[in-house]
Amino acid sequence: MINNPVSLVIGITNQCNLSCKFCFNGKHAIKYSNSIKRGVMSLATFKEILCQAKGFVSHIELGLFGEPTIHPYFIEMVTLAVNEGFSVGVYSNGTLLNSEISQQLLQTGLTSITISVDGMTDDEYEQIRSGGRYHIVEDNLKFLLAYRKKIKKNLPLIGIRSVLFSDTLDQKKIKRRFVDRLGVDFISFAPLDNWNGTVNINNDSTSFTITENRYSFNRCEFPWMVLSVNWNGDILPCCDDYMGKNILGNVNKQNLQSIWNGKQLKTIRLALKSRSFNQIIKNTGCASCSMLHRKSIPKKLEFNLILVALRETWKRLLDA
């Protein structure tokens, strides 16, 4: 028997107000990603997920394939999940977190908020995150941090996440701006991703497809760690499969726990573990995923930055 997932990732919508260049909403999206139906999760489906997740997972993350703050019941959903006893993390681009929503969100008792930020000026930001403005995100971030202080709460932890476009990205400069100057609790870096073959990140859409001669691919750990649910209830083994090439079932018909321990996910795990071309092609929809071909991430530096930020947070908690 495998351990339960570390986290359940729920996509309450796959719609977004930005069109970032590295995203399936952006200019490098491969044409057929436009054929994906967009929508928002119903409250009934969300409640069904919470019901199935109780006793099975303890941590829920909102933010999969879309911007959760645009959901009309965003605050209600966070509140419901917190009241059911889950620790809840929210991933947002931060552009719509105005003072009113931020105040409501901080009152829910959630555990963490991760704001995706790329660039440190409006020009830099807009080149990557089309449709947004850096200064608005920074103002929203400052408000979140100030309001948490005002209401004397230690949680949620508030941090940022940047896409690691290249090894030359100045991680130390990012740390100086966000940890030292603004006082965020953590920074993380997400490697550039092709969302299981949906975004062209190499000017060659086929370059990430496994071929028989490419045996040196990584092992993906997602199906051992997370389970994801898309806005329409579809269950997926990871947070990368935007096109739904590995749909395992639907929460309105199947149960999360039986899917987690079920035959289809077991077969996917075995195929990924084997790193065998034939097994991956035959038993998974993962063949085009950059996760299997990614260059190594400078984990040491990333880990150090997170540690620095958490050490500061710990000091703040002790001083409080």
Tokens for 230? Answer: 């898309």
- Residue 292 makes contact with ligand SF4 by CB under 6 A: yes
- Residue 289 makes contact with ligand SF4 by CB under 6 A: yes
Tokens for 26? Answer: 């952006």
Residue 92 β-bridge partners: 115
For ligand SF4, the closer CB: 115 or 286: 286
Q: Mark residues 245-264: x for contact with ligand SF4 by CB under 6 A, - for none.
A: -x------------------
Q: Smallest distance, Å, CB 238 to ligand SF4?
A: 3
What gap in Å lies between CA 260 and CA 228, rounded to an integer? 11
For ligand SF4, the closer CB: 42 or 264: 264
- Residue 227 makes contact with ligand SF4 by CB under 6 A: no
Q: Smallest distance, Å, CB 235 to ligand SF4?
A: 12
Residues 6+ apart with CB under 8 A from 216: none
What gap in Å lies between CA 309 and CA 186, rounded to an integer? 5
Q: What is the dihedral of CA 93, 99, 100, 104, to 10 degrees?
A: 70
Q: Smallest distance, Å, CB 314 to ligand SF4?
A: 32
Residues touching ligand SF4: how many (CB under 6 A)? 14
- The single residue among 13, 196, 232, 313 that binds ligand SF4, judged by CB under 6 A, is 196
Q: Smallest distance, Å, CB 21 to ligand SF4?
A: 21
Residue 3: count of CB within 10 angstroms of its CB: 8
Q: Smallest distance, Å, CB 14 to ligand SF4?
A: 16
What gap in Å lies between CA 114 and CA 7, rounded to an integer? 15
What gap in Å lies between CA 291 and CA 221, rounded to an integer? 9
Binding site for ligand SF4 (CB under 6 A): 196, 220, 222-223, 237-238, 240-241, 246, 284, 286, 289, 291-292
